[in-house]
Amino acid sequence: MKVDDKFLRDLESKVLAYRARDKDSDHRKTYDEVFDRDTLMTLYDLMTNEVIDTLDFPIATGKEGNVFRATKHSGGYLAVKIYRMSNATFNNIQKYIAGDERFRNLGKSRRRTIHTWAQKEYRNLERMRNAGISVPEPVVCVKNIIVMEFIGEDATPAPHLREVEIPEPEKIYANLFGSLKKLYRKAGLIHSDFSEYNVLMRGGEPIIIDVGQAVLKTHPMASEFLTRDVYNLARFFRKQGMDLDEKTMLREITEDA
């Protein structure tokens, strides 16, 4: 793509405006790590193709990526997850891609691995939605950027399960246990990083996020990952006063599946 004056002006006003406003040097460092040249180009493509109009503010900075709220041309919001090309924890990523037959022919290049990783998350979102599981609706995935439904109340990002009061834990538990079960039995996947940190609460309903590391149930470490997910679910709801047994839960998920 040709880098002309308009490109630079648009980027200045749409992507980097809040970087300039933010005097905190840690934040600046993060922005500089996220917005490398290729990532800026991809964002610019998403803007010229009218997928998004502006990037508004960072919602969160994770180990491998940053999530931003974006505004659509038509108004309304989207969430944009950008995997950092610079310091993504590459080895961690490899563990979840190796062993997944969908990505058998992956080359060794770091760049390609990160693009594949973003695509894996996107495809996992699609597969989960098709199985009727409550996850953000995927919009598009280009290179290291995933655009998806913004989970929030109006303009504000939704809180995590761990941050909210839970008046009826049994109800939320039943919903999430049902999702893990459907995930395994219908989508043939295991989330592999399931916890109260990766569930957002919108209008009292739980929505599961962060599905990049979800693996097929044929993955060599599938049973270890499933056990960990189920333990995390049980641990959290036991703290809410529920009486739960992981072995029974695991059996119910996997029996005759």
Ligand X SMILES: Nc1ncnc2c1ncn2[C@@H]1O[C@H](COP(=O)(O)OP(=O)(O)OP(=O)(O)O)[C@@H](O)[C@H]1O
- Answer yes or no whether residue 114 interacts with ligand X by CB under 6 A: no
Q: Is residue 256 annotated as part of the catalytic site, yes or no?
A: no
Shortest gap between Cβ of 151 and ligand X (angstroms)? 4
Which residues are registered as beta bridge partners of 201? Answer: 206
- Residue 104: CB partners within 8 Å, gap ≥ 6? none
CA pair distance 109, 113, nearest whole angstrom: 6
- Answer yes or no whether residue 229 interacts with ligand X by CB under 6 A: no
| Of 105, 103, 130, 50, nearest in space to 219 by CA | 103
Query: From the list 56, 121, 196, 210, which residue makes contact with Mg ion (rule: CB under 5 A)?
Result: 210
Shortest gap between Cβ of 74 and Mg ion (angstroms)? 28
Query: From the list 11, 15, 44, 64, which residue makes contact with ligand X (rule: CB under 6 A)?
Result: 64
Number of residues that bind Mg ion (CB under 5 A): 2
Nearer to Mg ion, 72 or 162 (CB): 162
Half-sphere exposure of 44 (CA within 13 A, CB side): 21
Residue 78: phi and psi, rounded to 5, are -135, 160
Half-sphere exposure of 141 (CA within 13 A, CB side): 19
Shortest gap between Cβ of 62 and Mg ion (angstroms)? 5
Residue 167 in tokens: 């008046």
Q: Is residue 210 annotated as part of the catalytic site, yes or no?
A: yes
Contact of residue 97 among Mg ion, ligand X, none (CB under 5-8 Å per partner type): none
- Catalytic annotation, residues: 193, 210
**Residue ranges that bind ligand X, judged by CB under 6 A:** 59-60, 62-65, 67, 79, 81, 136, 148-152, 157, 198, 209-210
